Amino acid sequence: MKKLSTLGKKKLVITALEDIKAHDIQAIDVRKVTSIFDWIIVASADSARQTKALARHLRDSLKDAGSSIVGTEGEDSGEWILVDAGDVVAHVMQPAVRQYYNLEELWGEGEFDDVVNSTVPAPRAPPKRRKAPARRKAA
């Protein structure tokens, strides 16, 4: 089996998270910030059960693709589970925990990809102003 590239692993992580309906998935390129890993993926889950299911599915997907798992942490509580795949580290968190620890701010020097499966409504464009109909000249 061919070894996954870092970007391939990142895409696999995001796809696995989407499979089990994670939301607000944020990928952060931290290669210029640290040499420990290349990408951090942060995702939200609505319950401890979903958080555990996401981490388990993520771990299984990576193993099935031939990637090794360095470790997982936090599976007992299910509030915040870290899945370390070496060059890509995924954090699956419940929203309150995610807001409290605010990893996006901690790794703010990294380069951020667009958020996937956002629960925040997309900004709406202001309504276009209609031109008033042209006035007819009186005859």
Give the DSSP per-residue string, 13-68.
Answer: HHHHHHHTT-EEEEEEE-TTT-SS-SEEEEEE-SSHHHHHHHHHHHHHHHHHTT--
Burial classification of residue 18, based on how many CB atoms lie within 10 Å of its CB (0-12 exposed, 13-18 middle, 19 or more buried): middle
Mean pLDDT, to the nearest integer, of 61-77? 92
User: Which pLDDT value is given to residue 28?
Assistant: 92
What is the crossing angle of helices 48-64 and 6-19, to 10°? 140
Question: Please, which residues have CB within 8 angstroms of residue 95's CB and are 6 or more apart in sequence?
Answer: 44, 46
Q: Where are the chain's structural domains?
A: 20-112
Would you state the structure tokens that stand for residue 58, as one six-digit string? 């993520």
Would you state the structure tokens that stand for residue 101, as one six-digit string? 């620890």
- pLDDT, tens digit, for every residue of 5-37? 899 999 999 999 999 999 999 999 999 999 999
User: Which pLDDT value is given to residue 122?
Assistant: 47
Q: Which CATH architecture group holds 20-112?
A: 2-Layer Sandwich (3.30)
Mean pLDDT, to the nearest integer, of 57-72? 93
Mean pLDDT, to the nearest integer, of 35-60? 94
Q: What is the pTM of this model?
A: 0.81
Q: Please work out, in degrees rounded to the nearest 5, the angle formed at the alpha carbon of residue 25 by the alpha carbons of 98 and 7.
A: 125
- pLDDT, tens digit, for every residue of 120-130? 554 444 555 56
Mean pLDDT, to the nearest integer, of 97-118? 85
